[in-house]
Each structure stands twice: as C-alpha cells, then as structure tokens.
C-alpha cells in the first residue's frame, strides 16, 4: 500500500511540474506598425544627436582642408616675401591628399541605414568608396 502511495505522490508532483511548464501567460504584443514607428523615432533621435555632435562630414572636411591649405600657403608666401626669397612651392604642396579619406561621420547615411534596419532589410550594392576631395 505504501508503494502505491509513493508512486501516486511522485506522479502528482511530476504532473504539477509539467502543468507549470505548459501554462504560459499571454503577453499582449504590440503591433508591427507600432514597433516600426518606435524604431523610426529612435533613428530620428540618433540623427538629431549626430547632427549636434558630429562636425566632420565629407563636405566640412573638404572645406576645412581647402581653408587650412590656403592659410599655410599664404603664410609661406608672406615669410618668403619678408625674407626676400623666391617662392618655390605651390599651393598643392600644402594639401594633404588623405586628410578627408579618414573616417568621417555622415549622419544622413547612418539615418538611412537605421531606417532600413527597422524594416529588417539593409540594401547594399557594390560601389566605389566615396571620396571627399
């Protein structure tokens, strides 16, 4: 009689464990449109933050490079004029050709990729890397 009670007790405990694992609370899920809208709002916030913090876009880098090149070249010319020397260098000798090929921040491109990732697909294609200068 005791062995039957032990078996029944074990079966009851096992069935309670199994019933506890099977029962799941239903969690209401948000609609896909709501998730997409929230993702796009997050992308817009990141874009706004990027525009506030990032000041090294391709266009700005090119403009700053041209400005500093002209500034250094004019300084060289004025020194040579004061010394009475010959101007032997050209403007291009003060230009750094790799300056704007270094990493820059492109907020618009980051925003485009973020919104594409909200839909789950990021479109890519083979193309030549953009050059700033």
Domain boundaries defined on the chain: 32-54+105-121, 57-104
If one counts every other C-beta atom within 10 angstroms of the C-beta of residue 120, the result is: 8
- Higher-confidence position of 69 and 124: 69
Tokens read off for 124: 């890519």
61-105 residue pLDDT tens = 788 888 989 999 999 999 999 999 888 888 888 887 776 766 567
Dihedral, CA of residue 103, residue 49, residue 108 and residue 130, to nearest 10: -10
Task: List, as one string, the DSSP characters of 7-40.
Answer: HHHHHHHHHHHHHHHH--PPPPPPPHHHHHHHHH
- Summarised one tens digit per residue, pLDDT across range 38-68 is 898 999 998 888 777 776 677 777 888 889 8
The band of 33, judged by pLDDT with boundaries at 50, 70 and 90, is: low
Assign residue 120 a region: left if phi > 0, alpha if psi is -120 to 50, beta otherwise? left
């Amino acid at each position: 009689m005791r062995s039957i009670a032990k078996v029944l007790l074990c079966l009851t405990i096992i069935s309670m464990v199994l019933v506890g694992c099977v029962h799941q609370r239903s969690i209401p899920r948000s609609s896909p449109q709501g998730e997409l809208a929230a993702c796009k709002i997050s992308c817009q916030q990141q874009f706004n933050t990027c525009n506030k913090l990032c000041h090294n876009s391709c266009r700005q880098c090119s403009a700053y490079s041209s400005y500093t090149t002209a500034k250094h070249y004019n300084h060289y010319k004025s020194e040579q004029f004061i010394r009475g020397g010959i101007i032997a260098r050209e403007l291009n000798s003060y230009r750094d050709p790799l300056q704007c090929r270094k990493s820059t921040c492109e907020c618009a491109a980051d925003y485009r990729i973020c919104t594409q990732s909200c839909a789950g697909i990021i479109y890519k294609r083979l193309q030549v890397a953009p050059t700033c200068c």
